[in-house]
Amino acid sequence: MKLADNKATMSFSDGSPSLEMPIYQGNVGPDVVDIRKLYGQTGMFTYDPGFMSTAACQSAITYIDGDKGELLYRGYPIEQLATNCDYMETCHLLLHGELPNAQGKKDFSELVTRHTMVNEQMQFFLRGFRRDAHPMAIMTGLVGALSAFYHDSTDITNPQHREIAAIRLIAKMPTLVAMAYKYTVGQPYMYPKNDLSYAGNFLHMMFATPCEEYVVNPVLERALDRIFILHADHEQNASTSTVRLCGSSGTNPFAAIAAGVACLWGPAHGGANEAALNMLGDIQKQGGIEKIGDFIKQVKDKNSGVKLMGFGHRVYKNYDPRAKLMQETCKEVLKEMGLENDPMFKLAMALEKIALEDDYFVSRKLYPNVDFYSGIVQRAIGIPVPLFTAVFALARTVGWIAQLNEMIGDPEYKIGRPRQLFTGSAARDVMPIVKR
């Protein structure tokens, strides 16, 4: 961390001595005021629910400029990665800091490929779930259960364990997601096929059956690979912060990632892709494009509790760059599948246009986020709606594990332990039950 020349001074109107605090500069983006000594010197905490102004860590992985609508993985713009690289290269970049050369990519892909199978016992664990269980419920359980299967990579303080746990998680997530799907439709699990690409193998495990040969469609393979790249990491979002906080206690990597999966499920976060498609489906049922006006009215009515899902972001106050790329992919996939006139896509485009012209959305700087179009792409590929967030989890695993490993290697890392402003009862005596 680079110390800035200037310092911050906090003064108090009751005459208590003021406090000088160091300021650190990042390479780009806002500086941070170091408040670590605040409590020791003043007996006060800072108060920042939702972390509106709090940098919880230092990180060199992902940078977002919310005003510009810019997203960089290790300095590389998301547009360039999505156009020139594949997911395996992106994983290498996020985990190791650099894009691989041709040999490095081959070695890394082979390493991941060799870990795609899961312990055979895993299928018996799956059997304990109801067939109609939500895939994210299954994924939370399966990922947590990995720590019961891979005892030799659970020591978070051991760099080799961290490295192998990272590869295992990246490699096994597609297998687990596909197993969760096959289980809910009652089809046999398909073993991974190691001559396929990462995305191609996922398509195979999802849609092949033992009865006939499955040929991977290269347009869908590339589209899925792009979905994976766009979701690979996103700085200190809710699920990543959950993984960091969970991992800060020294728990094993599989348990920490399971916590991330659980957090991602929520509709304000990764669950928004499923919620956005369901929303489009509801508008469609009510009459489609003609009903957008009524729907927008509901969204603007604070008492309705209705939100325009796939819109808005804590950090982006300009178009989410991932949404632009996703819209492009959406067009390609719909064309490939002969769905150019897909009514859901038309509805989404019309909804976006109307929302972007409406003062409610303009004044609040609400733009489409990655989840607005990702559901339409996934649905066109044939992925069922309840599985959308599990696909997001699969793709985000590399980001979670890269951030977790970065934290463990950070000399400033401590167990995460926020404090509170207590508003409950002060100490009081328990009355005997007859007197209460």
Give me the least distance between CB of 15 and ligand CMC, in Å please. 36
Residue among 174 and 310 whose Cβ is closer to ligand CMC: 310
The secondary structure element, H or E, covering residue 24 is strand 19-25
Tell me if residue 92 is catalytic. no
* DSSP, res 3: E
Q: Least separation, in Å, of the C-beta of 36 and ligand CMC?
A: 26
Give the residue among 346, 408, 351, 148 at the shortest CA–CA distance from 254.
148
Q: How far apart (Å, rounded) are the C-alpha atoms in residues 333 and 15? A: 65
User: Residue 144 or 375: which CB sits closer to ligand CMC?
Assistant: 375
Query: CB neighbours (10 Å) of residue 367?
Result: 22
CA atoms within 13 A on the CB side of 320: 23
In the beta sheet, which residues pair with residue 70? 65
Separation CA 429–CA 431 (nearest Å): 6
Q: Give 252 or 273: the residue with its C-beta nearer to ligand CMC.
A: 273
Q: Look up residue 241 and give its two tokens.
A: 């912060």
Tokens (6 digits) for 260? 């991330």
Q: Which tokens sit at 69?
A: 């609508």
Q: Are 126 and 177 in contact (CB under 8 A)?
A: no
Shortest gap between Cβ of 377 and ligand CMC (angstroms)?
15
Specify the residue, 38 or 350, whose C-beta has the smaller distance to ligand CMC: 350
CA–CA distance, 186 with 273 (Å, rounded to integer): 25
For residue 215, what are its two tokens? 């040929």
Rounded CA gap, 7 and 148, in Å?
49
With CA atoms as reference, report the closest residue to 32 among 78, 1, 69, 11. 1
Which is nearer to ligand CMC, 162 or 396 (by Cβ)? 396
Catalytic residue from among 86, 225, 233, 371 = 371
Task: Return residues touching ligand CMC (CB under 6 A).
Answer: 237, 268-270, 272, 299, 307-314, 364, 366, 369-371
Distance (Å) of CA 213 to CA 17, 216, 423 = 76, 10, 63
Catalytic residue, chosen from 92, 234, 313, 320, is 313
- Give kind and range of the element (H or E) at residue 80: helix 78-84
Q: Which is nearer to ligand CMC, 208 or 262 (by Cβ)? A: 262
Least distance from C-beta 80 to ligand CMC, angstroms? 21
Nearest approach, Cβ of 33 to ligand CMC (angstroms)? 21
Residue with smallest beta-carbon separation from ligand CMC = 312
Q: Is 313 a catalytic residue?
A: yes
Burial of residue 287 (number of CB atoms within 10 Å: 0-12, 13-18, 19+): exposed
* Choice between 208 and 309, CB closer to ligand CMC: 309
Residue 400 Cβ vs ligand CMC, minimum distance, rounded to whole Å: 13
Provide the minimum distance between the beta carbon of 71 and ligand CMC in the complex, in angstroms, as a whole number: 12
CA–CA distance, 253 with 241 (Å, rounded to integer): 14
- The catalytic residue positions are 313, 371
